[in-house]
Structure 1
Amino acid sequence: MRWRHTGAALNYTRFSSVNLDVKKVQIRTDLKTTTGTLGTLKIDPLLVGVGVGYKF
């Protein structure tokens, strides 16, 4: 499994902030049975996260 990510955080005011996070995950595995290999399973999702913070 490989993954790459980047992100940023911004203090909007003294009490609030916003953040953004982007990740690319690469998952590969061989599909096998008792009679042999069926092939390769590839799952490559792009994950995006956004957050808002507030200090009390």
Structure 2
Amino acid sequence: MCDVNVFIMKNGAEEKIMENVDLIEEVADGMHLVNIFGEEQTLKAKMVQYNNSEKRMVFQPL
């Protein structure tokens, strides 16, 4: 997987929450993200869309 930009759906719109994400793994309480700079974030969300050509992934809160 290439580095992707991650968005989350809020009030019907996509909001960018992290850029250059290199690692995405499912954890007990959602999804854990790590970007190429070592920044980490855990989302209580599920993936709803991955678009490789646009290098983007969209999540929806649980």
> What is the TM-score normalised by the length of structure 1?
0.36
> More strand per residue: 1 or 2?
1
Larger Rg: 1
Q: TM-score, normalised by structure 2?
A: 0.33
